[in-house]
A and B are shown apart, each in its own frame.
Chain A
Amino acid sequence: MDAKDILGLPKNSVTQEKKSRPQKDSQRKPDGISREVYALTGGLAPLIPAIEASQLKKRPPSDEKITWQWLPFTNSARKDNLHLYHWVRIVNGVPPTGDYSFAKYNKMWTKEETDQLFELCQSFDLRFIVIADRFPSSRTVEELKDRYYSVARAMLIARAPSPGDISGHPLVKEPYNVSQETERKRALSMVLSQTKQQERKDAEVLAEAKRITESRMVARGAEESELPVPSNAGPESAERAAAIPADTVSPSSNVQQHPSAAVAPSTITVDNASILASLRMLRVYLRTYALDQMVQAASSSAGLRTIKRVEQTLQELGVNLKPRVPTKAVCAEHLELRREILTLLNLQKQLQYKEAEGSSYRDGSYADTPGTPKHLSHGGDQDRTFVPDMSFAGERMGKRDQKRKAPGRLSEAPLPAHKRPRKSKAADL
């Protein structure tokens, strides 16, 4: 007010503006909550309200009587004649007429539309892409195809003298599947629009997945045939394993040479062959990389502990875990050595099991055959003299076994000695 006095402005015009502005100001100020909090909700409401507050208040028309009734309704879009109930707004006792309001969203085919479709199909020789272009209402190619094929199928079935006559017709046997087709085309367009990088990544992932499934299958095959690897197959596998690396390029010939051998050795060659094949796919590779792949493949059927034991054995033998001069020949020898150590460890385990069986036999037949334990213990002594000669693997095996439940070789000897005095006691009794 002072400012206007100073400026010497007429009061009337200004006061009008001021009136509208305070109104707007009061509208701006949010009631009940602070301005900052109100701002968080999205800020000020638009200056011109979409809904007039005054209108909200004076809504119910005086001449109309509004009631709400719980009434049944049907949906023309449904084919099953389902009756549901909902609240209906009744004006002056007159319920609304007309179909269910959402029925119009159903993609209905009128006879007119269908006739148009068939005309176009006739004139354009079932070229649906052209037909879709010329179709009056916008329908997708898949929708048109679906309509055409389902109508044609229905007509075929209806006109056929007996269902058996047309059961061989392709339209009847394999009806058009809209959802499948839409999905297929969508997937195809996605593949088509892949960038080169995505393509490469996909190819890499697929190759990796293939390798993993292959190695898993081999592992399963090796597992299944691991137990029945009998000792008579042992020497064959060792010989063949030695024969392989000299000719790594033609593994198939090796498989042919020993058709009677156990399954496990041949699965090793199959795995090697797949590694070699994948290596050949690379235009260039490093020898150390190739060796790494083959070592991984060879140990894929073995557990982590076994792999550690192989490495321990290599170290005890004074062999580098990774060859210092990895030429083709050296890598082949290294791989063979690893395989032989793996066989060695497996055989040692076998021997353990057999000796455990043996001790249970001895316990059972002890009373009947007093002579036999002595005989067996001699065998046990023989074993023990072998072990110190081979400083690696064997002795270590025995030591570890003592901790385990299954009796190892070294724990055998005390058994008969322990029992012999008892025997005499029993005899005395």
Chain B
Amino acid sequence: MINSSSSKQVGQDQPATSEPKSQRTKIKMVKSEDSDKRMLNKKLKDVEISIPIVYGNVSFWLGKKASEYQSHKWTVYVRGATNEDIGVVIKRAVFQLHSSFKNPTRVVESPPFELSEAGWGEFEIAITLYFHSDLCDKPLTLYHHLKLYPEDESGPMSSKKPVVVECFDEIAFPEPSEGFLVRVQNHPAVNVPRLHTGFTLPPPVPFEDANRKKRGDTKDHPLSQWFMNFSEADELLQLAAARQQVQAHLAKLRRQISMIDGQHQQLKTISDS
């Protein structure tokens, strides 16, 4: 009996030893996958990424073809500030128009995030941006007042030159997940701050072939010739100059105050004696 049992054991030994080994390796693989997932879902602190955007509208007077209720043709949009593809961040944009429009809730599922319509009235448009789920599940709403008529009412209206109103802003994500960072590192539409030394991201997955994907950037957009320029450098210069002026005046004031303090001190000692 003992022999038989031992022989049984021996017989079972070989497959028995091989099984646990493969099981062991299988377990090990699953574990590392889990930790990868956890790492990708991990939120990073002190790493705020921002996406500079420009939103607004371009409006053309229809001239001879204008009717009472459709005097202008306009396009409202959200684009990357440098005309890069913001579809990497934004999943879809919902434009909420005036209730007098048919189906006033217009959903745009892919870049370029724009909406064109014809009308006569100016009103506030709410643009709600929905982000990819690995970045943020909460939407963000921008408000833009549609402008059709030029500021200068005296001049003649031209159907060639449109009325353009654009607004610059930055969408900030204070604690992006590591998974998202991996996806967008080195993408031109996203501002990623320099990470702390000693902190390395896993190597990025190579971008899909641009030809296969529809281009989402607005560099060659038909309206791009009307896009306004937003220069951060100019504004920084202006602010620096203003600060310099203020600081100089501050220094002078402090000198004056200390001088007067000294004089008061003098007067006090004289009157006391």
* A residues at B contact (CB < 8 Å): 231, 234-235, 238, 249, 279-280, 282-288, 290, 313-314, 317-320, 323-330, 333-334, 336-337, 340-341, 343-344, 347-348, 350-351, 354-355, 357-358, 361-362, 364-365, 368-369, 372, 375-376, 379, 383, 386, 390, 392-394
Contacts and interface: CB of A to CB of B under 8 A. Distances in A.
B246 interface: yes
A125 B168 CA distance: 70
A285 B50 CA distance: 10
A286 B256 contact: no
Contacts of B131: 284
B100 interface: no
A364 B271 contact: yes
Contacts of B168: 324-326
A286 B247 contact: no
27 contacts: A231-B257, A235-B254, A238-B250, A249-B46, A280-B174, A283-B136, A283-B138, A283-B175, A284-B131, A284-B171, A285-B174, A313-B246, A324-B235, A326-B168, A327-B50, A328-B172, A330-B236, A333-B240, A334-B239, A340-B247, A340-B250, A348-B253, A351-B256, A358-B263, A361-B268, A365-B270, A369-B270
A104 B131 CA distance: 68
Contacts of B245: 317, 390, 392
Contact of B230 (A280, A324, A348, A354): A324
Contacts of A361: 264, 267-268, 271
B10 interface: no
B247 to A, nearest CB: 6
Contacts of A287: 50, 169-172
Contacts of B235: 320, 323-325, 330
Interface in B203-261: 230-232, 234-236, 238-240, 242-243, 245-247, 249-250, 252-254, 256-261
Nearest to A343: B250
Contacts of B260: 351, 354-355, 358, 379
Interface of B: 46, 48, 50, 52, 131, 136-138, 140, 142, 168-175, 230-232, 234-236, 238-240, 242-243, 245-247, 249-250, 252-254, 256-261, 263-264, 267-268, 270-271
A392 B241 CA distance: 14
A307 to B, nearest CB: 16
B242 A394 contact: no
B133 to A, nearest CB: 12
B249 A337 contact: no
Nearest to B245: A317
Nearest to A361: B267
B169 A317 contact: no
Contacts of A234: 250, 254
Contacts of B247: 238, 340
A354 B250 CA distance: 16
Nearest to B247: A340
A222 B68 CA distance: 59
Q: Quick one: which of A235, A325, A355, A369 has the most chain B CB within 10 A? A: A325
B236 A329 contact: yes
Contacts of B254: 231, 234-235, 347
A421 B131 CA distance: 80
A365 B271 contact: yes
B239 A344 contact: no
Contacts of B257: 231, 347, 350-351, 354
A348 B252 CA distance: 11
Contacts of B259: 379
Nearest to B139: A284
Give the top 10 A-B pairs by smallest Cβ distance, nearest first. Answer: A287-B170, A333-B239, A317-B242, A280-B174, A361-B267, A347-B253, A325-B230, A325-B235, A340-B246, A283-B136
